[in-house]
Structure 1
Amino acid sequence: MRPPSSGAGEVPVVQTAGLTRTFGSATAVDSVHLAVRPGRIYGLLGPNGAGKSTTLKMLLGLLPPSSGEIRLFGQPWNRGALARIGASINGPSYYGHLSARQNLAVHAHLLGVSGAEVERVLAAVELSDAGRKKAKSFSTGMKGRLALAMAMLGDPDLLILDEPQNGLDPEGIAALRTMLRRFTDGGRTVVLSSHLLGEVASLADDIGLIAAGQLRYQGSIADFAPDGDLERAYFALTGTGVRA
Protein backbone atom coordinates (compact mmCIF):
# COMPACT_ATOMS: atom_id res chain seq x y z
CA MET A 1 0.00 0.00 0.00
CA ARG A 2 1.43 3.36 -1.03
CA PRO A 3 1.50 6.15 1.57
CA PRO A 4 -1.04 8.95 1.26
CA SER A 5 0.26 12.29 0.11
CA SER A 6 1.26 14.73 2.85
CA GLY A 7 0.04 18.29 3.10
CA ALA A 8 1.82 20.95 1.10
CA GLY A 9 5.38 21.24 2.36
CA GLU A 10 4.76 18.71 5.13
CA VAL A 11 7.61 16.24 5.60
CA PRO A 12 6.59 12.97 7.29
CA VAL A 13 8.29 12.32 10.61
CA VAL A 14 8.41 8.62 9.74
CA GLN A 15 8.28 7.27 6.22
CA THR A 16 9.00 3.79 4.91
CA ALA A 17 9.06 2.37 1.42
CA GLY A 18 8.82 -1.36 0.78
CA LEU A 19 9.86 -2.12 4.37
CA THR A 20 10.27 -5.87 4.68
CA ARG A 21 11.58 -8.23 7.33
CA THR A 22 11.93 -11.97 6.95
CA PHE A 23 12.95 -14.62 9.45
CA GLY A 24 14.13 -17.58 7.45
CA SER A 25 11.31 -18.49 5.09
CA ALA A 26 8.72 -16.51 7.08
CA THR A 27 7.86 -12.92 6.16
CA ALA A 28 6.94 -10.92 9.27
CA VAL A 29 6.65 -7.51 7.55
CA ASP A 30 5.84 -7.42 3.85
CA SER A 31 6.63 -4.30 1.80
CA VAL A 32 5.09 -1.77 4.20
CA HIS A 33 4.77 1.90 3.21
CA LEU A 34 4.17 4.13 6.24
CA ALA A 35 3.73 7.91 6.32
CA VAL A 36 3.44 9.50 9.77
CA ARG A 37 2.58 13.19 9.76
CA PRO A 38 4.03 15.60 12.35
CA GLY A 39 1.98 16.65 15.35
CA ARG A 40 -0.26 13.56 15.15
CA ILE A 41 -0.87 10.37 17.10
CA TYR A 42 -0.48 7.47 14.67
CA GLY A 43 -1.88 4.11 15.77
CA LEU A 44 -0.40 0.98 14.19
CA LEU A 45 -3.31 -1.39 14.61
CA GLY A 46 -3.64 -5.11 13.96
CA PRO A 47 -4.08 -8.58 15.44
CA ASN A 48 -1.43 -10.12 17.66
CA GLY A 49 1.44 -11.39 15.51
CA ALA A 50 0.57 -9.08 12.61
CA GLY A 51 4.04 -7.50 12.43
CA LYS A 52 3.50 -4.34 14.47
CA SER A 53 6.31 -4.80 16.99
CA THR A 54 8.72 -5.93 14.27
CA THR A 55 7.96 -2.76 12.33
CA LEU A 56 8.62 -0.55 15.35
CA LYS A 57 11.87 -2.37 16.12
CA MET A 58 13.09 -1.69 12.59
CA LEU A 59 12.27 2.01 12.95
CA LEU A 60 14.45 2.07 16.07
CA GLY A 61 17.32 0.09 14.58
CA LEU A 62 16.74 -2.87 16.91
CA LEU A 63 16.19 -5.10 13.87
CA PRO A 64 17.68 -4.50 10.42
CA PRO A 65 15.22 -4.55 7.52
CA SER A 66 15.61 -7.37 5.02
CA SER A 67 14.80 -4.81 2.33
CA GLY A 68 13.16 -1.43 1.90
CA GLU A 69 13.85 2.10 3.11
CA ILE A 70 13.24 4.04 6.33
CA ARG A 71 13.31 7.83 6.57
CA LEU A 72 13.15 9.69 9.88
CA PHE A 73 12.53 13.44 10.01
CA GLY A 74 12.90 13.61 6.24
CA GLN A 75 16.33 11.94 6.11
CA PRO A 76 17.47 8.38 5.39
CA TRP A 77 17.68 6.33 8.60
CA ASN A 78 20.77 7.12 10.64
CA ARG A 79 21.65 6.44 14.26
CA GLY A 80 21.94 10.14 15.02
CA ALA A 81 18.19 10.55 14.56
CA LEU A 82 17.57 8.29 17.56
CA ALA A 83 18.58 11.19 19.83
CA ARG A 84 15.26 12.80 18.83
CA ILE A 85 13.20 9.68 19.63
CA GLY A 86 11.89 8.29 22.91
CA ALA A 87 10.66 4.70 22.97
CA SER A 88 9.11 1.99 25.07
CA ILE A 89 9.26 -1.47 23.48
CA ASN A 90 8.35 -4.84 25.02
CA GLY A 91 6.78 -3.33 28.12
CA PRO A 92 8.19 -1.30 31.02
CA SER A 93 11.88 -1.83 31.83
CA TYR A 94 12.89 -0.63 35.29
CA TYR A 95 14.85 -1.44 38.45
CA GLY A 96 12.32 -2.86 40.89
CA HIS A 97 14.27 -1.89 44.00
CA LEU A 98 14.40 1.79 43.00
CA SER A 99 11.73 4.49 43.15
CA ALA A 100 10.34 6.18 40.04
CA ARG A 101 12.61 9.18 40.64
CA GLN A 102 15.68 6.97 41.11
CA ASN A 103 14.88 4.93 38.00
CA LEU A 104 14.59 8.10 35.97
CA ALA A 105 17.79 9.50 37.44
CA VAL A 106 19.69 6.43 36.19
CA HIS A 107 18.28 6.85 32.69
CA ALA A 108 18.88 10.60 32.74
CA HIS A 109 22.53 10.01 33.61
CA LEU A 110 22.90 7.58 30.70
CA LEU A 111 21.29 10.11 28.35
CA GLY A 112 23.29 13.01 29.74
CA VAL A 113 20.26 15.08 30.72
CA SER A 114 19.76 17.10 33.89
CA GLY A 115 17.98 16.33 37.12
CA ALA A 116 15.47 19.02 36.23
CA GLU A 117 14.42 16.85 33.31
CA VAL A 118 13.63 14.02 35.76
CA GLU A 119 11.29 16.31 37.67
CA ARG A 120 9.67 17.52 34.45
CA VAL A 121 8.74 14.05 33.22
CA LEU A 122 7.63 12.91 36.69
CA ALA A 123 5.18 15.79 36.72
CA ALA A 124 4.09 15.10 33.14
CA VAL A 125 3.05 11.53 34.00
CA GLU A 126 1.74 12.45 37.46
CA LEU A 127 4.28 10.43 39.45
CA SER A 128 5.84 13.30 41.40
CA ASP A 129 4.09 12.12 44.56
CA ALA A 130 5.19 8.47 44.28
CA GLY A 131 7.86 9.26 46.87
CA ARG A 132 10.12 6.40 47.93
CA LYS A 133 7.74 3.67 46.83
CA LYS A 134 9.69 0.97 44.99
CA ALA A 135 8.82 0.34 41.35
CA LYS A 136 8.28 -3.38 41.95
CA SER A 137 5.25 -2.49 44.08
CA PHE A 138 3.72 -0.17 41.47
CA SER A 139 0.33 -0.89 39.96
CA THR A 140 0.16 -1.71 36.27
CA GLY A 141 -0.92 1.85 35.54
CA MET A 142 1.99 3.31 37.50
CA LYS A 143 4.46 1.05 35.70
CA GLY A 144 3.01 2.25 32.39
CA ARG A 145 3.45 5.86 33.49
CA LEU A 146 7.06 5.18 34.48
CA ALA A 147 7.76 3.65 31.06
CA LEU A 148 6.23 6.71 29.41
CA ALA A 149 8.30 9.03 31.61
CA MET A 150 11.48 7.19 30.59
CA ALA A 151 10.57 7.56 26.93
CA MET A 152 9.92 11.29 27.42
CA LEU A 153 13.34 12.03 28.98
CA GLY A 154 15.27 14.51 26.88
CA ASP A 155 12.10 16.03 25.40
CA PRO A 156 12.10 13.96 22.16
CA ASP A 157 10.34 15.01 18.98
CA LEU A 158 8.90 11.52 18.45
CA LEU A 159 7.60 8.85 20.82
CA ILE A 160 7.41 5.22 19.68
CA LEU A 161 5.36 3.07 22.07
CA ASP A 162 4.61 -0.64 21.78
CA GLU A 163 1.21 -1.57 23.26
CA PRO A 164 1.18 1.21 25.90
CA GLN A 165 -2.44 0.45 26.87
CA ASN A 166 -1.74 -3.16 27.89
CA GLY A 167 -3.03 -3.90 31.37
CA LEU A 168 -4.51 -0.45 31.93
CA ASP A 169 -8.01 0.02 33.28
CA PRO A 170 -10.36 2.57 31.63
CA GLU A 171 -9.14 5.32 33.97
CA GLY A 172 -5.52 4.54 33.10
CA ILE A 173 -6.27 4.57 29.38
CA ALA A 174 -8.02 7.93 29.70
CA ALA A 175 -4.98 9.31 31.57
CA LEU A 176 -2.65 7.96 28.87
CA ARG A 177 -4.76 9.64 26.20
CA THR A 178 -4.47 12.99 28.00
CA MET A 179 -0.69 12.65 28.47
CA LEU A 180 -0.07 11.80 24.83
CA ARG A 181 -2.32 14.59 23.61
CA ARG A 182 -0.34 17.05 25.72
CA PHE A 183 2.84 15.67 24.19
CA THR A 184 1.63 16.34 20.66
CA ASP A 185 0.62 19.91 21.50
CA GLY A 186 3.27 21.99 19.78
CA GLY A 187 3.95 19.64 16.89
CA ARG A 188 5.54 16.55 18.42
CA THR A 189 4.50 13.11 17.19
CA VAL A 190 3.52 9.73 18.64
CA VAL A 191 3.55 6.32 16.96
CA LEU A 192 2.00 3.52 19.01
CA SER A 193 1.01 -0.05 18.33
CA SER A 194 -2.06 -1.83 19.64
CA HIS A 195 -4.40 -4.72 18.93
CA LEU A 196 -7.24 -2.90 20.73
CA LEU A 197 -9.47 -1.37 18.07
CA GLY A 198 -11.64 0.73 20.35
CA GLU A 199 -8.73 2.22 22.28
CA VAL A 200 -6.85 3.20 19.13
CA ALA A 201 -10.00 4.72 17.67
CA SER A 202 -10.39 6.96 20.72
CA LEU A 203 -6.70 7.91 20.84
CA ALA A 204 -5.21 8.14 17.35
CA ASP A 205 -5.57 10.82 14.69
CA ASP A 206 -4.44 8.43 11.96
CA ILE A 207 -4.11 4.66 11.82
CA GLY A 208 -2.25 2.05 9.85
CA LEU A 209 -3.92 -1.36 9.86
CA ILE A 210 -1.47 -4.22 9.46
CA ALA A 211 -2.40 -7.89 9.07
CA ALA A 212 -0.18 -10.82 8.13
CA GLY A 213 2.68 -8.34 7.76
CA GLN A 214 0.88 -6.25 5.13
CA LEU A 215 -0.46 -2.71 5.49
CA ARG A 216 -4.15 -3.02 4.59
CA TYR A 217 -5.19 0.57 5.37
CA GLN A 218 -3.59 3.90 6.20
CA GLY A 219 -5.39 7.17 6.89
CA SER A 220 -7.91 8.76 9.23
CA ILE A 221 -10.36 6.94 11.47
CA ALA A 222 -13.22 8.72 9.67
CA ASP A 223 -12.16 7.35 6.29
CA PHE A 224 -11.48 3.90 7.76
CA ALA A 225 -15.15 3.44 8.61
CA PRO A 226 -17.31 6.17 7.00
CA ASP A 227 -20.45 4.48 8.33
CA GLY A 228 -19.06 4.44 11.87
CA ASP A 229 -18.91 0.64 12.04
CA LEU A 230 -15.28 0.17 13.07
CA GLU A 231 -15.57 -3.56 13.76
CA ARG A 232 -17.01 -4.31 10.33
CA ALA A 233 -14.20 -2.41 8.63
CA TYR A 234 -11.57 -4.06 10.84
CA PHE A 235 -12.79 -7.60 10.21
CA ALA A 236 -13.19 -6.96 6.50
CA LEU A 237 -9.58 -5.81 6.16
CA THR A 238 -7.92 -8.30 8.50
CA GLY A 239 -10.07 -11.33 7.74
CA THR A 240 -10.12 -12.15 11.46
CA GLY A 241 -12.86 -12.53 14.02
CA VAL A 242 -16.61 -12.96 13.84
CA ARG A 243 -19.01 -10.56 15.49
CA ALA A 244 -21.82 -11.80 17.66
Structure 2
Amino acid sequence: MYAAPVPQTPTGETPVIETRGLSKVFRRATAVDSADLTVRPGRIYGLLGPNGAGKSTTLKMLLGLLPPTKGDVRLFGQPWNRQALSRIGASINGPSFYGHLSARQNLAVHAHLLGLPATEADHVLEAVELTGTGRKKAKSFSTGMKGRLALAIAMLGNPDLLILDEPQNGLDPEGIAALRTMMRRFTETGRTIVLSSHLLGEVSSVADDIGLIAQGRLRYQGSLADLAPDGDLERAYFTLAGGAHESQAVTP
Protein backbone atom coordinates (compact mmCIF):
# COMPACT_ATOMS: atom_id res chain seq x y z
CA MET A 1 0.00 0.00 0.00
CA TYR A 2 1.39 3.42 -0.98
CA ALA A 3 1.71 5.81 1.98
CA ALA A 4 0.67 9.32 0.97
CA PRO A 5 3.23 11.88 2.20
CA VAL A 6 2.17 15.06 3.96
CA PRO A 7 3.22 18.11 1.91
CA GLN A 8 5.58 20.42 3.76
CA THR A 9 3.94 23.71 4.66
CA PRO A 10 6.26 26.75 4.53
CA THR A 11 7.15 28.22 7.91
CA GLY A 12 4.49 30.65 9.11
CA GLU A 13 1.91 29.42 6.60
CA THR A 14 -1.17 27.83 8.15
CA PRO A 15 -2.83 25.10 6.09
CA VAL A 16 -6.40 25.88 5.07
CA ILE A 17 -7.40 22.24 5.64
CA GLU A 18 -5.72 19.53 7.67
CA THR A 19 -7.14 16.11 8.43
CA ARG A 20 -5.51 13.39 10.46
CA GLY A 21 -6.82 9.84 10.42
CA LEU A 22 -10.10 10.99 8.87
CA SER A 23 -12.35 7.95 8.44
CA LYS A 24 -15.97 7.16 7.65
CA VAL A 25 -17.58 3.76 8.08
CA PHE A 26 -21.13 3.00 6.95
CA ARG A 27 -22.27 -0.07 8.88
CA ARG A 28 -19.41 -2.44 8.06
CA ALA A 29 -18.20 -0.75 4.86
CA THR A 30 -15.32 1.73 5.04
CA ALA A 31 -15.83 4.67 2.68
CA VAL A 32 -12.83 6.73 3.82
CA ASP A 33 -9.91 5.14 5.64
CA SER A 34 -7.47 7.27 7.69
CA ALA A 35 -7.04 10.16 5.24
CA ASP A 36 -4.37 12.74 6.08
CA LEU A 37 -5.01 15.75 3.85
CA THR A 38 -3.02 18.98 3.86
CA VAL A 39 -4.33 21.85 1.72
CA ARG A 40 -2.17 24.96 1.55
CA PRO A 41 -3.50 28.51 1.00
CA GLY A 42 -3.56 30.18 -2.39
CA ARG A 43 -3.49 26.90 -4.29
CA ILE A 44 -5.79 24.54 -6.18
CA TYR A 45 -5.84 21.11 -4.58
CA GLY A 46 -7.13 18.44 -6.96
CA LEU A 47 -8.73 15.45 -5.25
CA LEU A 48 -8.57 12.70 -7.86
CA GLY A 49 -10.02 9.22 -7.84
CA PRO A 50 -12.39 6.81 -9.59
CA ASN A 51 -16.13 7.20 -9.18
CA GLY A 52 -17.10 5.85 -5.76
CA ALA A 53 -13.58 6.16 -4.37
CA GLY A 54 -14.56 8.27 -1.34
CA LYS A 55 -14.02 11.79 -2.66
CA SER A 56 -17.53 13.14 -2.02
CA THR A 57 -17.67 11.52 1.42
CA THR A 58 -14.40 13.23 2.31
CA LEU A 59 -15.70 16.64 1.20
CA LYS A 60 -18.94 16.15 3.13
CA MET A 61 -16.98 15.47 6.30
CA LEU A 62 -14.95 18.65 5.77
CA LEU A 63 -18.19 20.62 5.54
CA GLY A 64 -19.88 18.94 8.50
CA LEU A 65 -22.50 17.29 6.30
CA LEU A 66 -21.35 13.89 7.55
CA PRO A 67 -19.81 13.19 10.95
CA PRO A 68 -16.47 11.35 10.80
CA THR A 69 -16.35 7.91 12.36
CA LYS A 70 -12.93 8.91 13.66
CA GLY A 71 -10.16 11.36 12.95
CA ASP A 72 -9.71 15.14 13.15
CA VAL A 73 -10.43 18.06 10.83
CA ARG A 74 -8.84 21.50 11.15
CA LEU A 75 -10.02 24.47 9.07
CA PHE A 76 -7.91 27.62 8.81
CA GLY A 77 -5.66 26.36 11.60
CA GLN A 78 -8.46 25.69 14.10
CA PRO A 79 -10.35 22.53 15.11
CA TRP A 80 -13.51 22.13 13.00
CA ASN A 81 -16.23 24.57 14.01
CA ARG A 82 -19.35 25.94 12.35
CA GLN A 83 -18.03 29.51 12.37
CA ALA A 84 -15.38 28.50 9.84
CA LEU A 85 -18.10 27.53 7.36
CA SER A 86 -18.87 31.22 6.80
CA ARG A 87 -15.49 31.41 5.03
CA ILE A 88 -16.27 28.46 2.73
CA GLY A 89 -18.30 28.25 -0.46
CA ALA A 90 -19.23 24.79 -1.71
CA SER A 91 -20.94 22.94 -4.51
CA ILE A 92 -21.53 19.29 -3.59
CA ASN A 93 -23.68 16.67 -5.34
CA GLY A 94 -24.69 18.92 -8.22
CA PRO A 95 -26.59 22.20 -8.41
CA SER A 96 -29.29 23.12 -5.90
CA PHE A 97 -31.61 25.93 -6.96
CA TYR A 98 -35.21 27.11 -7.33
CA GLY A 99 -36.33 26.03 -10.79
CA HIS A 100 -39.06 28.67 -11.13
CA LEU A 101 -36.62 31.54 -10.52
CA SER A 102 -34.06 33.15 -12.80
CA ALA A 103 -30.34 32.89 -12.13
CA ARG A 104 -30.23 36.33 -10.55
CA GLN A 105 -33.33 35.66 -8.44
CA ASN A 106 -31.79 32.41 -7.20
CA LEU A 107 -28.63 34.23 -6.23
CA ALA A 108 -30.58 37.05 -4.56
CA VAL A 109 -32.37 34.49 -2.37
CA HIS A 110 -29.08 32.87 -1.34
CA ALA A 111 -27.48 36.28 -0.78
CA HIS A 112 -30.35 37.22 1.54
CA LEU A 113 -29.91 34.00 3.52
CA LEU A 114 -26.22 34.86 3.93
CA GLY A 115 -27.00 38.43 4.97
CA LEU A 116 -25.47 39.86 1.80
CA PRO A 117 -26.82 42.66 -0.42
CA ALA A 118 -28.73 41.55 -3.51
CA THR A 119 -26.15 43.35 -5.66
CA GLU A 120 -23.71 40.57 -4.73
CA ALA A 121 -25.61 38.45 -7.27
CA ASP A 122 -24.44 40.65 -10.15
CA HIS A 123 -20.77 40.14 -9.32
CA VAL A 124 -20.91 36.36 -9.32
CA LEU A 125 -23.21 36.22 -12.37
CA GLU A 126 -20.54 38.03 -14.33
CA ALA A 127 -17.80 35.77 -12.97
CA VAL A 128 -19.57 32.63 -14.25
CA GLU A 129 -20.82 34.28 -17.46
CA LEU A 130 -24.55 34.01 -16.76
CA THR A 131 -25.41 37.69 -17.11
CA GLY A 132 -27.19 37.08 -20.41
CA THR A 133 -29.79 34.67 -19.05
CA GLY A 134 -32.22 37.46 -18.07
CA ARG A 135 -35.56 36.14 -16.81
CA LYS A 136 -35.04 32.64 -18.10
CA LYS A 137 -36.07 30.12 -15.43
CA ALA A 138 -33.34 27.95 -14.00
CA LYS A 139 -35.30 24.75 -14.65
CA SER A 140 -34.90 25.35 -18.38
CA PHE A 141 -31.12 25.81 -18.17
CA SER A 142 -28.78 23.39 -19.87
CA THR A 143 -26.72 21.09 -17.68
CA GLY A 144 -23.70 23.33 -18.11
CA MET A 145 -25.65 26.47 -17.18
CA LYS A 146 -26.98 24.75 -14.05
CA GLY A 147 -23.39 23.91 -13.13
CA ARG A 148 -22.40 27.55 -13.55
CA LEU A 149 -25.29 28.64 -11.35
CA ALA A 150 -24.18 26.21 -8.64
CA LEU A 151 -20.69 27.68 -8.89
CA ALA A 152 -22.06 31.22 -8.62
CA ILE A 153 -23.99 30.29 -5.46
CA ALA A 154 -20.79 28.85 -3.96
CA MET A 155 -18.92 32.08 -4.73
CA LEU A 156 -21.38 34.35 -2.92
CA GLY A 157 -19.78 36.28 -0.09
CA ASN A 158 -16.27 36.09 -1.54
CA PRO A 159 -15.24 32.97 0.45
CA ASP A 160 -11.64 32.18 1.36
CA LEU A 161 -12.10 28.55 0.33
CA LEU A 162 -14.11 26.95 -2.47
CA ILE A 163 -14.93 23.23 -2.31
CA LEU A 164 -16.14 21.99 -5.69
CA ASP A 165 -17.33 18.45 -6.38
CA GLU A 166 -17.09 17.56 -10.10
CA PRO A 167 -17.69 21.15 -11.31
CA GLN A 168 -16.85 20.23 -14.93
CA ASN A 169 -19.84 17.91 -15.27
CA GLY A 170 -22.05 19.02 -18.17
CA LEU A 171 -19.75 21.82 -19.31
CA ASP A 172 -18.77 22.10 -22.95
CA PRO A 173 -15.08 22.75 -23.84
CA GLU A 174 -15.65 26.51 -23.78
CA GLY A 175 -17.26 26.28 -20.36
CA ILE A 176 -14.41 24.14 -19.02
CA ALA A 177 -11.86 26.68 -20.27
CA ALA A 178 -13.82 29.49 -18.58
CA LEU A 179 -13.90 27.47 -15.34
CA ARG A 180 -10.12 27.09 -15.42
CA THR A 181 -9.70 30.84 -15.85
CA MET A 182 -12.10 31.59 -13.00
CA MET A 183 -10.31 29.21 -10.65
CA ARG A 184 -6.92 30.72 -11.43
CA ARG A 185 -8.21 34.25 -10.82
CA PHE A 186 -9.71 33.09 -7.52
CA THR A 187 -6.43 31.69 -6.18
CA GLU A 188 -4.36 34.64 -7.45
CA THR A 189 -5.87 36.64 -4.59
CA GLY A 190 -4.54 34.15 -2.02
CA ARG A 191 -7.73 32.12 -1.73
CA THR A 192 -7.92 28.34 -2.06
CA ILE A 193 -9.86 25.75 -4.05
CA VAL A 194 -10.37 22.05 -3.40
CA LEU A 195 -11.49 20.44 -6.64
CA SER A 196 -12.82 16.89 -6.71
CA SER A 197 -12.90 15.02 -10.00
CA HIS A 198 -12.37 11.66 -11.68
CA LEU A 199 -11.03 13.43 -14.80
CA LEU A 200 -7.24 13.18 -14.72
CA GLY A 201 -6.69 15.54 -17.66
CA GLU A 202 -8.85 18.34 -16.26
CA VAL A 203 -7.31 18.25 -12.80
CA SER A 204 -3.77 18.03 -14.15
CA SER A 205 -4.37 21.14 -16.27
CA VAL A 206 -5.22 23.36 -13.31
CA ALA A 207 -4.18 21.84 -9.96
CA ASP A 208 -1.09 22.87 -8.00
CA ASP A 209 -1.27 19.87 -5.67
CA ILE A 210 -2.86 16.44 -6.02
CA GLY A 211 -4.48 14.02 -3.64
CA LEU A 212 -5.32 10.65 -5.20
CA ILE A 213 -7.90 8.57 -3.37
CA ALA A 214 -8.98 5.03 -4.23
CA GLN A 215 -10.97 2.49 -2.23
CA GLY A 216 -11.27 5.11 0.49
CA ARG A 217 -7.52 5.47 1.02
CA LEU A 218 -5.32 8.40 0.11
CA ARG A 219 -2.76 6.77 -2.19
CA TYR A 220 -0.79 9.91 -3.10
CA GLN A 221 -0.48 13.52 -2.02
CA GLY A 222 1.92 16.03 -3.50
CA SER A 223 2.82 17.71 -6.77
CA LEU A 224 1.95 16.53 -10.24
CA ALA A 225 5.64 16.37 -11.10
CA ASP A 226 6.32 13.97 -8.26
CA LEU A 227 3.26 11.88 -9.11
CA ALA A 228 4.67 11.13 -12.56
CA PRO A 229 8.37 12.04 -12.86
CA ASP A 230 8.46 10.44 -16.31
CA GLY A 231 5.49 12.54 -17.48
CA ASP A 232 3.14 9.57 -17.87
CA LEU A 233 0.32 10.75 -15.60
CA GLU A 234 -2.16 8.17 -16.82
CA ARG A 235 0.10 5.27 -16.02
CA ALA A 236 0.88 6.69 -12.56
CA TYR A 237 -2.81 7.26 -11.89
CA PHE A 238 -3.87 3.72 -12.78
CA THR A 239 -0.91 2.22 -10.93
CA LEU A 240 -2.03 3.89 -7.71
CA ALA A 241 -5.80 3.87 -8.23
CA GLY A 242 -5.99 0.32 -9.54
CA GLY A 243 -8.35 -1.01 -12.18
CA ALA A 244 -12.10 -0.49 -12.22
CA HIS A 245 -12.66 -3.86 -10.56
CA GLU A 246 -10.56 -2.69 -7.58
CA SER A 247 -12.21 0.67 -6.94
CA GLN A 248 -15.61 -0.25 -5.55
CA ALA A 249 -15.46 1.83 -2.35
CA VAL A 250 -18.80 2.63 -0.74
CA THR A 251 -20.04 6.21 -0.77
CA PRO A 252 -23.57 7.53 -0.31
Tell me if 1:124 matches 2:142. no
**Matching residue's letter, 1:151:** A
Tell me if 1:18 matches 2:14. no
Partner in structure 2 of residue 154 of structure 1: 157
Q: CA deviation at 1:2?
A: 4.3
Tell me if 1:74 matches 2:87. no
For the 8 Å contact 2:5–2:222, the answer to whether it is kept is: no
Aligned identity (percent) is 78
- What secondary structure sits across from 1:203 in the alignment? coil
- What secondary structure sits across from 1:121 in the alignment? helix
**Matching residue's letter, 2:207:** A
**Matching residue's letter, 2:51:** N
**Matching residue's letter, 1:59:** L
Tell me if 1:144 matches 2:158. no
Question: How many residues end up aligned between the 2 structures?
Answer: 242
Partner in structure 1 of residue 249 of structure 2: none
Tell me if 1:187 matches 2:190. yes
Matched residues in 1 for 2:154 and 2:56: separation? 16
Q: CA deviation at 1:83?
A: 0.3
* Cα deviation digits, residues 129-168 of structure 1 (max 9, x gap): 2111111111222111111100000110000011111122
Matched residues in 2 for 1:138 and 1:184: separation? 28
Q: Using structure 1 for the length normalisation, give the TM-score.
A: 0.97
Q: CA deviation at 1:241?
A: 5.3
Tell me if 1:208 matches 2:211. yes
> After the TM superposition, which residues 86-101 of structure 1 pair with which residues of structure 2 at under 5 Å, given as runs?
86-101=89-104
Q: CA deviation at 1:213?
A: 0.4
1:5 to 3, 8, 22: 8
- Structure 2: runs of 5+ lacking an equivalent: 246-252
- What secondary structure sits across from 1:115 in the alignment? coil
Matched residues in 1 for 2:10 and 2:106: separation? 40
**Matching residue's letter, 1:30:** D
- What secondary structure sits across from 1:228 in the alignment? coil
- Structure 1: runs of 5+ lacking an equivalent: none
Q: CA deviation at 1:43?
A: 0.7
> After the TM superposition, which residues 210-225 of structure 1 pair with which residues of structure 2 at under 5 Å, given as runs?
210-225=213-228
Q: Using structure 2 for the length normalisation, give the TM-score.
A: 0.94
**Matching residue's letter, 1:12:** P
- What secondary structure sits across from 1:87 in the alignment? strand
Partner in structure 1 of residue 250 of structure 2: none
* Cα deviation digits, residues 211-236 of structure 1 (max 9, x gap): 00000000111111111101100011
**Matching residue's letter, 2:75:** L
> After the TM superposition, which residues 33-48 of structure 1 pair with which residues of structure 2 at under 5 Å, given as runs?
33-48=36-51
Q: CA RMSD in A?
A: 1.2
Q: CA deviation at 1:107?
A: 0.5
Extract structure 1 runs of 4+ deviating beyond 2 A.
none
For the 8 Å contact 1:105–1:115, the answer to whether it is kept is: yes
Matched residues in 1 for 2:113 and 2:7: separation? 38
